[in-house]
Amino acid sequence: MTSISVRNGLVLLADGRIDQCDVLIESGVISEIGAGLMADREIDATNCYVLPGLIDLHVHGIGTASASISSLAEIAKLEASYGATTFYPTLFAPPEEIVSQLRRHIDETDELRSTPQVAGFRLESPYIANAGGGLPRYCAPISEKATRTLLDAGSGHIRIWDISPELPGALPETARLTELGIVVSIAHTSASIEQANAAVECGARLVTHLFDTFHQPQQTEPGAYPAGLVDYLLVEDRVVCEIIGDGTHVHPLLVEKAFRCKTADKLAFVTDSNVGAGLPSGRYELPLGWGTAEVKGPNNGVRLVDRGMELCGSALTPIDEFRNLISMFGKDIATASTVCSKTPARLMGLNKGELASGRDGDVIVLDMNINLVCTIAAGEVIWQAW
């Protein structure tokens, strides 16, 4: 494997400082950060930021590619061109279709060996109480047989599993999946505070796109402010909360509220991207009967034309979201990197998410306008602008 030195860049160090120095990657791992580091291949990062690769926990599609029907290799190339060195293809369909999709992906990728950017799969359905932008047939009761079939089809590669805490059997299922090392995420729910707390006690450690597909509490008395599920999750230190960072799914004021309650160490920004992300404004056909979607730039969501322009995921790419954190939500480079790289890596137990000796050689280079210049994954250049 060729050693790579990213030279003379403004490097975001693990302690949050930015220093002009070099990053040396050998055998796919960061071996040293310092000055005058030579290598077989050198990348000039003068006047550029050098940051950890972006990690997207929630990806349905990008460009014209869909996790439902496209190859993971195609999606991985597109993700690399937008700065993602790690992502989790997210499947949202009835159980029998998810089984088929998992088996196809695993066969096509030789158990994911040919797509190292893919850290595993995420199941957003079937164990959810409401389908949101999906269809009711995507929801199914929790059952031992269905779980066993899905786990067998996933061949040990299911890493995140969404569950609504109010469903019958949700608590023992959460405990069981947690014991298997799967991150259970509270999702698509009308659960009470007590039901959500019980799920957390059973091991749930993630919240799927906070504020979205969560019902607001009803006011029970005039003049009394009701406490609801979102309020609880904002102060529950045991869970990481996802945010879709386009300013449409979550108003900037609520984004700021989440930062002040959770801090960056407990927030993971995700794209929840769908077909249309990264494409010019226009209308695009979604796969598997979802219908026609309209896209108007990265920050207006992917909207279903035949369902009253209902949101169906976002049109964000990973670098769009990173850029929004700075330009739309007023965060600095270090904070943006924490919620797009460090926090997701820590949640998922990955040796990634920060630039330090011994960490995986996943690096992105951005110019001063936060445009992507180069993407490096495991010490290999997988995309570059020149």
178 sits in which H/E element: helix 170-179
| 319 pLDDT above the threshold of 90 | yes
| Residue range 54-71: mean pLDDT, rounded | 97
DSSP string of 237-294, one letter each residue: TT-EEEEETTSSSS-HHHHHHHHHHH-GGGEEEE--B-TTTTSPSEEEEETTTTEEEE
What number is the average pLDDT over the span 154-173?
A: 98
Average pLDDT over residues 43-49: 98
Distance CA 97, CA 100 (A): 5
Structure tokens that stand for 140 in this block: 């199914």
- For residues 91-101, average pLDDT: 97
Mean pLDDT of 316-320: 98
Cis? peptide before 94, omega within 30° of 0: no
| CA distances to 154, 162, 167, 238, 359 from 151, in Å | 5, 14, 19, 25, 30
Three-state SS at 337? helix
Average model confidence (pLDDT) across the chain: 96
pLDDT-derived band at 290 (thresholds 50, 70, 90) equals confident
Which CATH architecture is the domain 4-50+370-384 placed in?
Roll (2.30)
What does the domain layout of the chain look like in residue ranges? 4-50+370-384, 54-352
Task: Look at residue 371 and tell me whether its pLDDT is greater than 90.
Answer: yes
* Residue 386: pLDDT band with limits 50, 70, 90: confident
Q: For residue 216, is pLDDT > 90?
A: no
pLDDT at 297 over 90: yes
Q: Let me know if the fold of 4-50+370-384 is the same as that of 54-352.
A: no
Q: Can you tell me the distance from the alpha carbon of 257 to that of 272, in angstroms, rounded to the nearest whole number?
A: 21
Give the C-alpha distances (Å, rounded to integers) separating 202 from 72, 124, 188, 369.
Answer: 32, 19, 18, 44
In this predicted structure, what is the pLDDT of residue 183?
98
The pTM of the whole model exceeds 0.85: yes
What pLDDT is recorded for position 220? 83
Alpha carbon 320 to its chain's center: 13
Q: For 351-386, give the DSSP string.
A: S-SS--TTSB--EEEEETTS-EEEEEETTEEEEE--
**Residues contacting 7, CB < 8 A, separation 6+:** 22, 37, 42, 43, 44, 45, 46
Dihedral angle computed from the Cα positions of residues 92, 97, 99 and 100, in that order, rounded to the nearest 10 degrees: -120
Confidence of residue 129 (pLDDT cuts 50, 70, 90): very high
In three-state form (DSSP H/G/I as H, E/B as E, the rest C), the secondary structure along 42-111 is EEECCCEEEEECEEEEEECEECCEECCCCCHHHHHHHHHCCCEEEEEEEECCCHHHHHHHHHHHHHHCCC
pLDDT at position 310, please? 92
Q: Which of 82-96, 126-140, 312-326 is least confident?
A: 126-140
Architecture category of domain 54-352 in CATH: Alpha-Beta Barrel (3.20)
**The predicted structure's pLDDT at residue 287:** 86
Choose among 87, 3, 13, 25: nearest CA to 49: 13
Q: What is the pLDDT of residue 222?
A: 86
pLDDT > 90: percent of the chain = 91
Confidence of residue 270 (pLDDT cuts 50, 70, 90): very high
Q: Residue 28 is encoded by which pair of tokens?
A: 């796919």
Quote the radius of gyration of the chain (alpha carbons, Å). 20
* pLDDT above 80 for 81: yes
Sheet holding 282-286, edge to edge: 282-286, 291-295, 302-304, 310-311
Q: How confident is the model at residue 136 (pLDDT cuts 50, 70, 90)?
A: confident
Q: Residue 342 has which token pair?
A: 């460090």
The pLDDT value given to residue 133 = 81
